[in-house]
Structure formats: structure tokens, C-alpha cells
Amino acid sequence: MIKTKTALVILALGVSALAQTDDTPYRRMEAGKTQTMQALVRQARAITDAASEEIASRRSWEAVKEKRREEMRDMLGLLPWPERSPLNVRITGKLDEPGYTVENIAYESLPRAYVTGNLFVPKKRSGKVPAVVYVCGHAYSPYGNKTQYQRHGISLAKNGYVALILDSIQVAETFALHHGVSHQEMYHWYSRAYTPAGVEVWNAIRAIDYLESRPEIDADRIGMTGRSGGAAMTWFTAAVDPRIKVAIPVMGISTYAANVAADTQKLHCDCMFAINFCRHDMLHQGALIAPRPLLMAHGRKDNLFPVAGYEEFERKVGALYRSYGVAEQFKNIVVDTAHQDSDYLREQAIRWFDRYLLQIPDRELDMSYTNAPDRSLAVFPDGPPADAANPRIHETFLKTPPFRAYSSLGEWEKRKTEILNALREKVFAGLASGAQPSREVESKSPPQGGAANGFAELVFRSEPEIEIHGLLSKPEKIEKRLPALLYIASEGEDPHAIEDWLRPRRGERAVQLVVYPRGIGTVTWEKSFWKSALRNAMHVGHTVDSLRLLDILRAVELLRADDQVAPDQITVAGAGVSGVLGLYAAILDAGIHQVALMSPPTSHAEGPVFLGILRYLDLPEAAALVAPRRLGFYDRMPAEYEPARTVFRLYGKPDHLSETLDLSAFVQGRHEPNFASSM
């Protein structure tokens, strides 16, 4: 009899796993998709609501503001700050225009990471003048997207501002990627917690460093603006760098509650988001700018930023500004357009800068402009420097610490504690969101025995919305608690094959539970939905794999609560990525007895995908985290895992990292290589 006070709810038991209609796997797959999106929508709403409480007043916000700012830097990959290496500024050309000049500028935000831009300088000025960093959206030109936004630099310069328009790294003279996850199958970006927004923000921060060095600029009067992707960089940069005194992000912001419900991720570039392992809401971006002057603008017909999202943002961030006593320093302009720039918004931005950087009343502005030829604004018209590091910056911006040799057990235990804290507080901070209130659950045991010790179906909930299917097998007569195997199925593994492979050997007695985490079955999620779920999950501090890990941890709880299972003799096993999910279940749950891996990947660059995992460790060191418990590799152990043996030796258990040729024997505790076969 299963007795539990966990979040696990048994929905159906005692139905043969094989007695299904032909379309049952498909219907389960479709139901799982619906359930997963419902769970993500719930979590997104909870994140937005939690942020709303934090920013409800100046008092509540000031208590957590600096912590949230540090977390924002972390989620952008800017904690700690990268080294402020020499900018090595180059001015490769200059245009002399009526009322202003344009300098074609390159600098290195990091060694050999070239940033290209155009500096618009007004000719008529008295003393030092304010400066504006303009960051571009995704407009194409072979000479950088700065050439497509030059009207903003011209207008700012004609009206008394120095303006530096920066190329984004995706549409630049020195190319780097924006779409690694969204379009280019680079899912390791999430495992690195890499977002191109981090590089873009650092480029903007170094632009401010440069502007502060210019003799014509007042370093205490620097603003920032941009549209679309440029709006995102304005939000992020102003949130983490207080040197920006006025911010004007144009289209867009929302809330994660609105974005996930509308599935807007399918319209967005990866650059629009921090990697949200700290479970912030977009509301935090506005609150981190408060009480500095903040003007935002939106299009009523803009599908990228739902009306409900920016309206909620306006209400709640506006209330925070009122709490600071500066309600007039926050404003949202809504225009009756889709996601597009306009002359009206360009003018309104300058008037906002006038009010808070120049501190002058409304005046007549010169908004006329004539664009220069794109090539004339190029910094490197004949091509980028040969040594440019930009194309691979997604691999070099953040580093994975090496798995080094430890000289003592104490030294390793210190490292282990650091890793476990990072896993619980950062990588898997979202796992707790799936818990339900504890309650008694009445259930009936599945039939024991049967033909060939067959499996019976079991269904439980890992989250309020999520039904997880499993296959449970027990010996006919159970007189004492037995060891148990939790086998984590992989995509396409059918019950027939699993039943045949896991059938207990003669004389061996164990409880076996096969779990199919969400999206895994004989019919699996199609790639397009998997990617959609992955990107939406990131918004709430998860990946698909971390959600599956939650399902597995709940299955372990289910086994442990069974009064016919020895709770200290549970083995988790699986093939490929599923096996590594079991490994991480054991890392997070010290009560799991041992782990068996079959043909595992050797790096998180191959999977599973967890937010930021590669900032802390890779798979060989993860294997060491289960020491001194047993870790067995079915058939062969990849050579990449061999360094983990040094940690097992520190515990005096080098043999606890081993190979096994018989999973059933491994579960029974027979680990010696020369046991007698009972097949």
C-alpha cells in the first residue's frame, strides 16, 4: 500500500500498461503539451505577482533593490563585471555635415571584441553638453544597423546632444550571434546562461566609459534610448548602470505573466531577455531604474508586447514612482501602430531628454534629417579586423571552471558545498515552484505479479497541472521492504521493450518504477513545441530538462513513500540525457542510494540543458558529486568521467565508480565484476 503526504496524487492504478487504444500515446502527448503550458502560465503569473509585491512601495522595494540589481547583472552574465580592458579607440573617418559632425568609431569592449558606432557631435555648443547612447533594433545593412537609425543621431545632434549610435552585435560590421536558441539550435546558450543581451549591455557600458572621456561631454548628464532590441538594452543597461540618468526604451516591455500566456517568445530574439534563473519579472527592470526619469512607448497593435502586459507594467511601476514622490518622472506613450518607429516618438524622446538632461521647457525642435550613404558611416568599410573575437563571443564571454584535482577531502567538501548552493539557489531555484500543499492521498496498490512479472500503469501529478505516467512492477509476495529501481525512460522507449529489458532475473526481488517525464513517451513532443516550451520555461527559471527533473524527484518521493520499498535502497537509472537527469536527482536528493548511467553525454553542451549549469561545472564533476555513493556506468564508462575517480578516492571508495554489465544485479547490490549469472 502506498501511503504519502507528498505532492504526489495517484490518478489511476491497476490498468495494464499495454491495454491501450492505438491513439493513447498521441492523446497523452497532446494532453502533456496543454498541461505544460498551463503550468508555465501559472508560474509566470506567480512571478509577476511576487514582483508586484516587492515594488508595491518605495519601502518594500528599497529593502531588496540592490540584491535584485546584483541578480540582474548575474542573469546578464555581468557578475562579476568583466575586466575593463583598454578600449583602444579608433576613429577611422569623419563626416562634416551642416550643424554637426559624425565620427566613425570602433572600440574594444573586451580584448578583440570590436564595437562599431557613429558619434554625432553638435557644432554649436556652449560648454559641456549631455550625451545619449542610442542602441539599435534589428534593421539590416552590411555596414551595421547604426546606418538605419542615423536619423536619431542627427536629430539629437541638431538639438544640442552628443549621440553615440552603436551597432548591435547581430547586425554589425563585426558579426556575432543573437539567435542561438531561437533559430540556430545552440541550446548550450541556456546551459551557459549566455544571452547576447549581456554582451550588448557591456558594449553600452563601455560606450559610457568612452563618452566620459570626451572633453565636450558632461559625464553627469548621460541618457540612453533605443527601439525594440534597443529598448531591451536600454532597460537592462539603465537597470544595472546608474550613470544613465534618463532612460527612454521604445517598444518594449511587458510582464512574464502576459508574455507566457500569449506565447510571445516565438516573435522574439534571444537578445530580448536575461536568463531568468533568479525568477525576476520584467517589472524589476523598471523598478531598478526608478526613481530616475523613465519614458517608455508602446504600440497598441504591437504583438510582441501584449497590451495587458505593458498596461500592468505601467500601473505598477507608475505606483512605485508615486511612492518615491516623483510620479511625473514616469510616463508611457501609447500610439496606434504596430511594432514600428515614428517621427512622433523620435520627437517625444528629445523633449523628455530636454526636460531631464537639459532641464529646459518645451522648445521648437529641428527634426529634419538627411541620411548619409550607409558606406560613409562604416568604421571598417573593407571588412572587420582579422583578429576579431566577435563571432565566437557566445563561447568566450562566460567560462566553465575546470574540474581540478583536489588534494584533500576537506578541500573537495568545500567545493562540493559551493556547487550544491549554486545548484539550489541559481540553477534549480525554480524546482520549488512545482510543489503542492502536503495532503493524505488514498490509493490502491497495482496488481502484483502477473504474467512475466508484468508492469501495471501508474499516474501521478508532479505539479498541479501535470500528469506523469509510469509503469510499476512488484514481486508477487513481498515479506519485507525491497530495493527499488527508478528507471527514467527516454524518447521513444516503449513499454514492451522496457518490460523485456527490466524483467527481474531469477531469484532477484525488487520494486521497479519506470517513469516517463513530461514530453517523453512512445509519441513525443514535436521539436517546435519543445523549443517553445524551452523558451517559455526560461522566463520562469526553468528548462524542459529541469521540469523533467522535477517529475523524477516526485517519482522518487512516490517510491520512498511505498511501505514495500526500502527507502534507503533506491537506484535511479536511465540512458543518455535521461540518465543524467537521474544523476542530478541523486545530487539534489542525498537519500538516493546509487545511480546507473547508460551511454551518457560527456558535457552539458550536449545536454541536458539547465540554466547556467556550465557556469559552475560540467558533467564529469557532476558525477563526482554523488561520491561516496555508488555510480555505475552500464557497459562502458566514457573516458571523460575518469577524473571523478580522484574524488571517490578521497572518500576511500574508488571502487564506487565502476562499470556494470547487469543493471538488475547493480540494483540488488552485487557490484563485484565476477558474480555468477542467474539469467
Instruction: Tell me whether residue 629 is in a domain.
Output: yes
Last residue of a domain, one of 367, 396, 425: 396
CATH number at residue 110: 3.40.50.1820
Instruction: Tell me whether residue 66 is in a domain.
Output: no
Whether residues 497 and 609 fall in one domain? yes
Query: How do beta strands 217-227 and 129-135 pair?
Result: parallel
Query: How do beta strands 511-516 and 467-473 pair?
Result: antiparallel
pLDDT per residue over 494-549, tens digit each?
888 888 888 766 667 899 999 999 999 999 999 999 999 999 999 999 999 999 99
Instruction: Tell me whether residue 678 is in a domain.
Output: no
Whether residues 349 and 472 fall in one domain? no
Whether residues 469 and 369 fall in one domain? no
Does the pLDDT value for residue 427 go beyond 80?
yes
Residues 279/247, Cβ–Cβ less than 8 Å: no
Burial class (CB in 10 A: 0-12, 13-18, 19+), 444: exposed
Instruction: Tell me whether residue 148 is in a domain.
Output: yes
Cell 526608478 appears where? 290
Does the pLDDT value for residue 139 go beyond 70?
yes
In the chain, the amino acid numbered 477 is K
pLDDT per residue over 329-367, tens digit each?
999 999 999 999 999 999 999 999 999 999 999 999 999
Instruction: Tell me whether residue 62 is in a domain.
Output: no
C-alpha–C-alpha distance, residues 584 and 424, integer Å: 11
Q: Which three cell numbers stand for residue 449?
A: 505479479
Residues 149/502, Cβ–Cβ less than 8 Å: no
Which residue range forms the structural domain that includes residue 607?
10-46+413-668
Local confidence band at 453 (pLDDT 50, 70, 90 cut-offs): very low
Give phi and psi for 173, each to the nearest 5: -70, -25
Taking Cα atoms as reference points, which of 60, 57, 80 lies closest to residue 70?
80
Last residue of a domain, one of 352, 371, 396: 396
Estimate to the nearest angstrom the gap between the alpha carbon of 121 and the chain centroid: 39
Whether residues 354 and 449 fall in one domain? no
Whether residues 339 and 440 fall in one domain? no
Whether residues 423 and 370 fall in one domain? no
Whether residues 373 and 420 fall in one domain? no
Instruction: Tell me whether residue 92 is in a domain.
Output: yes
Whether residues 181 and 326 fall in one domain? yes
Burial class (CB in 10 A: 0-12, 13-18, 19+), 124: exposed
Whether residues 86 and 120 fall in one domain? yes
Whether residues 123 and 30 fall in one domain? no
Number of H-type helices and E-type strands within the chain:
20, 18
Whether residues 351 and 434 fall in one domain? no
The gap between the terminal CA atoms of the chain, to the nearest Å, is 30
Whether residues 459 and 593 fall in one domain? yes
- What is the total count of domains within the chain? 2
pLDDT at position 443: 35
Instruction: Tell me whether residue 496 is in a domain.
Output: yes
On whether the pTM is more than 0.75, the answer is yes
pLDDT at position 477: 87
Instruction: Tell me whether residue 252 is in a domain.
Output: yes
Last residue of a domain, one of 339, 363, 396: 396
